[in-house]
Chains A and B, each alone.
Chain A
Amino acid sequence: MKKTISLLTVAMLLVCALTGCGGNKEAVATDGSTSMNKVIVALGEAFEADTGITVTYNATGSGAGIQAVQEGRCDIGLSSRDLKDEEKANGLEGTILAYDGIAIIVNPNNPVSDLDIETIAKIYTGEIKNWKEVGGDDAEIVLIGREAGSGTRDGFESITDTEDQCQYRQELTSTGDVITTVASNPGAIGYASLASVKDTVKALTVGGVAPSEETIKDGSYVIQRPFVLVTQKDAKLTESAQKFFDYITSEAANEIISSAGVVPAN
């Protein structure tokens, strides 16, 4: 008797754990990149005001968002990196929503204000270790980065061609942590989405070009990456999800995308 009951309980728990929650038909579920928070929330609010359809956003990270689309747990996945070939082979499709500039940030007290992309790569690979080598004070350079798998790290390392070679002193798990750390350490250098950079840190110009919407759009600011909407190639979106998708990729949404600090692609 006892055995039967305990077996039943375990079975019941398994069923509860394995059947995820089914999505609400009316709402549009998005899931993914934490860097896309600002832009997706702004778009979702505007869309809801227009149509009355709610948009939910789950900030889990690019990898998790892509997984969620694949498993059908959300309508639209959000990725702040291009889809990998293996992900495309799994029947996923990416549509670029916007471009995000990655700002290189230093402490405001740091006299250095311009570096070119090669120098940045040399700094991050540990070839240049002291600020005086690039015209700054005599202080060790403290490299602040993001954790392995982060879209920003992936974006930064692929753009500067420093994959797997960065000699990080700290690997932090959020943009906010990076900014806080750089703001509190005079020798620190870090990278973060331009949209989230605050006055507590100084954004460097790269090769003489300051990061801004114009320079990202015309391609002269080189450290930038795409914000990608991920959908299943074969499966059709629900009616409300399709509406949302069309809305955010239309020109009408550009103003909202710009106001979130990133550059619209369409």
Chain B
Amino acid sequence: MKKNRLFENIVHGIFLILGLITVGCVLLITVYLIISGIPAIKEIGFFNFLFGKEWASTAAEPKYGILPFILTSVYGTAGAILIGVPIGFFTAVYLSKVANKKVRAVIEAAVNLLAGIPSVVYGLVGMLVLVPAIREIFDVPDGASLLAAIIVLAIMILPNIIKVSITALDAVPKEYEDASLALGATPTETFFKVSVPAAKSGIAAAVVLGVGRAIGEAMAVMMVAGNVANMPSLFESVRFLTTAVASEMAYSSPGSLQRNALFSIALVLFLFIMLINATLNFFLKRDKEK
């Protein structure tokens, strides 16, 4: 009996340690980012850093203003949500409520496949197809732009939005819909006035998840956005928070203000992601409490 208890305790200990590895990683990353991100902000000045409009990290007189990156990330994400959410939402409603089993199986498989495509492939296709297409269609000298990034991001967040929304819509009790139909509402009325409101927390969570994916994406965006630190404009070459870090990290010399400023950008991005996660938790919790 005693032996058993000892064994149990050991197993519990092992599980605890395994669980703590995740916590440790998060802690390590957070602490590391804060420690390496704060000095540059202090040196550059909080307002100069966050609200400076010019970034020229390797110039003779370097400027470290990241407002263009912040705005680009915000606009880019907002644009992707504006395009991605309606498409994803209606697809989810259709798949969950209207489509017959066979159609649903095919489309769901396609959505899953879309989710599994590596971001570098999105970037490559964007670079070879989308960027020249934008150049031709809108008659601009070069297609690498905020618009290209928005379109790529919108497609990338589709699977997240569709899958999470479907789960939420599927979980709506059938009785709600039956009651609505029995009262004489048409199916369409039922879906949009009963099912969707009942699943709204889940759908909101889907949108937040999409925001998270869009703001954190680096690779695909780097290949289509042109990466020049301009203030955001639809047909101009722009640089996101993520790509600002990724594109200069490899060549920045260690210990330099440039390298430290990149960590500070990462810290800003990290805060954005934390904010998004907090929002997500808020929606999920509200869902559970109901």
User: A-side interface residues toward B, CB under 8 Å?
Assistant: 2, 5-6, 9-10, 12-14, 17, 34, 60-64, 66-67, 70, 84, 87, 139-142, 147-151, 163-164, 168-173, 177, 180-181, 184-185, 187-188
Contact = CB atoms under 8 A, between A and B. Distances in A.
Contacts of B247: 147-148, 171, 173
Enumerate the 6 nearest inter-chain pairs by beta-carbon distance, A residue then B residue, closest first: A149-B251, A61-B250, A164-B59, A140-B141, A170-B226, A147-B247
Given A13-B25, A147-B227, A61 B254 contact: no
Nearest to A177: B223
Interface stretch (B16-24, B81-89, B172-180, B186-194): B16-24
Nearest to A167: B228
A25 B250 CA distance: 26
B226 A87 contact: no
A170 B148 CA distance: 13
Contacts of A70: 254
B156 interface: no
Contacts, number: 116
Interface in B15-48: 16-17, 20-21, 23-25, 27-28
A151 to B, nearest CB: 7
B237 A169 contact: yes
B131 interface: yes
Interface of B: 13, 16-17, 20-21, 23-25, 27-28, 56-60, 127-128, 131-132, 135, 141-144, 222-223, 226-228, 237, 239, 246-248, 250-254, 258
A15 B250 CA distance: 24
A102 B45 CA distance: 38
A13 B226 contact: no
Contacts of A139: 141
B142 A185 contact: yes
A6 B239 CA distance: 39
A61 B28 contact: no
Contacts of B222: 173
10 contacts: A6-B23, A10-B27, A64-B250, A67-B254, A148-B251, A151-B251, A173-B250, A177-B223, A180-B127, A184-B131
A61 B251 contact: yes
A12 B23 CA distance: 13
Given A6-B24, A147-B227, A151-B251, 14 more contacts: A5-B17, A10-B20, A10-B24, A17-B28, A63-B250, A164-B58, A170-B228, A171-B227, A171-B239, A171-B247, A172-B227, A177-B223, A185-B135, A188-B142
A88 to B, nearest CB: 13
A169 B141 contact: yes
Contacts of A6: 20, 23-24
B142 A64 contact: no
Contacts of B132: 184-185
A5 B228 contact: no
Nearest to A13: B24
A62 B128 CA distance: 28
Contacts of A164: 56, 58-60
B218 to A, nearest CB: 11
B252 to A, nearest CB: 6
Given A17-B28, A169-B228, A149 B141 contact: no
A13 B128 CA distance: 42
A5 B16 contact: yes
A255 B216 CA distance: 46
Contacts of A87: 253
Given A169-B237, A185-B142, A148 B57 contact: yes
Contact of B144 (A151, A170, A187): A170
A149 B250 contact: yes
B269 to A, nearest CB: 18
A9 B252 contact: no
A10 B131 CA distance: 46
Residue from the set A12, A164, A169 with the largest chain B CB neighbour count within 10 Å = A169
Nearest to B129: A184
Contact of B253 (A12, A63, A163): A63
A83 B178 CA distance: 75
A171 B224 CA distance: 10
A131 B17 CA distance: 64
B251 A62 contact: yes
Contact of A184 (B128, B228, B253): B128
Contacts of B127: 177, 180-181
Nearest to B247: A147
Contacts of B254: 63, 67, 70
Nearest to A70: B254
A6 B16 CA distance: 9
Contacts of B252: 63, 149
